[in-house]
Structure 1
Amino acid sequence: MSEVLDVRLFTSVFVTLFVIMDPPGTVPIFLGLTSAMTARQRNRAARQAILVAFGVIVAFALFGQSLLNYLHISLPALQAAGGLLLLFIAMELLTGKAEEPRPSASTSVNVAMVPLGTPLLAGPGAIVATMVFVKQGDGGFSDWFAILLAVIAVHLCLYLAMRFASVVHRVLGESGTTLVSRIAGLLLAAIAVQLLADAVFAFIDARG
């Protein structure tokens, strides 16, 4: 079994990405960003967000380091950019702009891609962590299979969390969802600031 799947690597990747991407913590933010959608639109947004996030993670795992080297972009710069974008989304959640009625279903597609797919799910932390695991592996089939399987497992957890967010929405009601959205906005703002702070310290360490 170890020749086909490195269980230790699979466990490390799964636990790390699960903590970073945080499926349970995604539920209130997902509800806040999709509060104006119908249940069908919300389910569609969940599927699209998972596909986008999975595609981004896999793309960066395969080509991320080469792309960053070609563009002369450091990992802290990528982290800071993701933090700024998350801070903007957090402000929308805190001010209620994310809950304003949307004129068409096409807007929900954009929400599923940005910010749900990236940088909320496939954010700088998840991207960098995946790139590090790929870099640390020996490039063998068992390592690649373990990383891919762990990424799929985490995204399955994310999908289930968002798929059943409608149940949470029915339980909480409109007022409860609004309250959760405000709290999620505050937490997301804190996450964004932490990303920016980590990026600043990384820049300082690189200079030093």
Structure 2
Amino acid sequence: MTSLAVSAFVTLFVIMDPVGTIPIFLSLTAGRSAESSRKAAWQAVLVSFFVIAVFALFGQGILHYLGISLPALQCAGGLLLLLVALELLTDNEEVPTAQTGTNVALVPLGTPLLAGPGAIVATMVFARQADGFSDGLALVLAFVAVHVVLWAAMRFSLPILRLIRESGVLLVTRIAGLLLSAIAVQMVADAVRAFITGDA
């Protein structure tokens, strides 16, 4: 039970990357009030936890019913993240921030950034390994712990926002866009590789 919980926590922590989420969260919530940013943080975590829970319980059945392979899901998530990254890298006025009224806590923060294809696949793998109530409880505790860390990372990014000011936010936005585009391209490349090798 302990081994499964630790393994699930470490794996999801690395995939969901709370530290790497901070610059993206700052850029997507630029211009929001502190209260609005805090609300976006916990909403994103709730959305992510809901998606993870649904796929842990019903993931295999959902994908099989819809005829969707895991690489196809990964490619779709990568393309969506790439669109967001391109908006962050340019001076597009449609960047999803508070000024446009877009709830970025749902997309792209909650999913596919936090609860992305990598986290979903890992969750489904651990769910298959669970045997009995104790293992199921261990996975629940691991999932909750990861999301608490994610919330804390975004929640305490607000003092950073006050420190770096508007010019710093612009710099962070460009860096976040670059990192996010690299993540997106890697996701698409992995999906294409899976299609070519016949793992789809």
TM-score of the two chains, using structure 1 as the length reference: 0.91
1:43 counterpart (35, 38, 46)? 38
Q: Once superposed, which parts of structure 1, at least 4 consecutive aligned residues long, lie more than 4 Å away?
A: none
Q: Does 1:163 align with 2:163?
A: no
Equivalent position of 1:121 in the other structure: 114
Q: Measured at CA, do residues 103 and 26 of structure 1 come closer, stay the same or move farther in structure 2, by a change above 3 Å?
A: closer
Equivalent position of 2:99 in the other structure: 102
1:194: Cα distance to partner?
Answer: 0.2
Q: Measured at CA, do residues 199 and 37 of structure 1 come closer, stay the same or move farther in structure 2, by a change above 3 Å?
A: same
1:96: Cα distance to partner?
Answer: 3.8
* Aligned counterparts of 1:99 and 1:177: Cα–Cα separation in 2: 14
Equivalent position of 2:179 in the other structure: 187
Q: How many residues align?
A: 198
Equivalent position of 1:144 in the other structure: 136
Q: Does 1:72 align with 2:67?
A: yes
Q: Does 1:133 align with 2:126?
A: yes
Give percent identity, aligned residues only: 63
**Is the contact between residue 10 and residue 147 of structure 1 (CA under 8 Å) also seen in structure 2?**
yes
Q: CA RMSD in A?
A: 1.5
1:137: Cα distance to partner?
Answer: 2.5
* Aligned counterparts of 1:148 and 1:113: Cα–Cα separation in 2: 22
Q: Measured at CA, do residues 8 and 96 of structure 1 come closer, stay the same or move farther in structure 2, by a change above 3 Å?
A: farther
Could you list the per-position Cα deviations for residues 151-189 of structure 1 after superposition, in whole angstroms to 9, with x for gaps in the alignment?
100000000001011111011111111101100110100
* Aligned counterparts of 1:29 and 1:96: Cα–Cα separation in 2: 16
Structure 2: which amino acid aligns with 1:125? G
TM-score of the two chains, using structure 2 as the length reference: 0.95
Equivalent position of 2:192 in the other structure: 200
* Aligned counterparts of 1:21 and 1:99: Cα–Cα separation in 2: 21
Could you list the per-position Cα deviations for residues 100-123 of structure 1 after superposition, in whole angstroms to 9, with x for gaps in the alignment?
66154xx2xx21101111001100
Unaligned runs of 5+ in 1: 1-5
**Is the contact between residue 28 and residue 97 of structure 2 (CA under 8 Å) also seen in structure 1?**
no
**Is the contact between residue 31 and residue 169 of structure 1 (CA under 8 Å) also seen in structure 2?**
yes
* Aligned counterparts of 1:145 and 1:207: Cα–Cα separation in 2: 31
Unaligned runs of 5+ in 2: none
Q: Measured at CA, do residues 100 and 11 of structure 1 come closer, stay the same or move farther in structure 2, by a change above 3 Å?
A: closer
